[in-house]
Amino acid sequence: MLEERLKDGIYEQKRALRARFSALRAALHSDVRDAALAERVLASDYLAADRFFIYYAVGTEAGTLPLIRALLRLGKTVCLPRIEDGVMKAVPYGRLQPGAYGIPAPVGGEDTSCDVAFAPLLAVDDRGVRLGYGGGYYDAYFARCPQTLRVGLCYAAQLTDRLPCGPSDVPLQAVVTEEGVRIFRNT
């Protein structure tokens, strides 16, 4: 009973935070910030990796199209999320069609092991706890692929002091913003 009340309390806290940080992110969204974010990634040590798992930005998410294009030009393997039977898979970039939630996803291709995963988020705290949309797809992917480096992409104003953390939440190891890279001490 206590466990259920705690879980419900975390759910309610996260729901309120999602609304707050969604509005903040929408106010911050800009092509200039997205370009700066891509430049930070391309100037980082992450570029030494060969295989990247990266989300296809929709709405006001920190933009990824410039980064996807740059990684492909550099000859890197770029995978995008595709949800099959409730499981998010990293599938090599190719012809896209609307997938789960209407988000563009590759047609065909197999689940591929990646070196670095760039995850979307609404907020992230100083421990690397990520506030996502509540579906748990990225946490499940991170738990299934513990060898993959977990990096969030967001705007600097989406960093916060403390977020609620549930038992299935898998913290990020770093975050890249338009201002730079931050490594978390949870690794």
Beta bridge partners of 182: 175
**Can you give the pLDDT at residue 185?**
85
**Can you give the pLDDT at residue 2?**
39
Tokens of 108: 């065909």
Distance CA 133, CA 61 (A): 11
Q: Which CATH superfamily is domain 2-183 in?
A: NagB/RpiA/CoA transferase-like (3.40.50.10420)
Contact at 8 Å (CB) between 177 and 156?
Answer: yes
| pLDDT tens per residue across span 12-40 | 899 899 999 999 999 999 999 999 999 99
> Mean pLDDT throughout 162-184?
95
Tokens of 8: 């419900």
Q: Does 187 score more than 50 pLDDT?
A: yes
Contact at 8 Å (CB) between 78 and 114?
Answer: no
Q: Going by C-beta distance under 8 Å and a sequence separation of 6 or more, which residues neighbour residue 43? A: none
Q: Does 114 score more than 70 pLDDT?
A: yes
User: pTM for the full model?
Assistant: 0.91
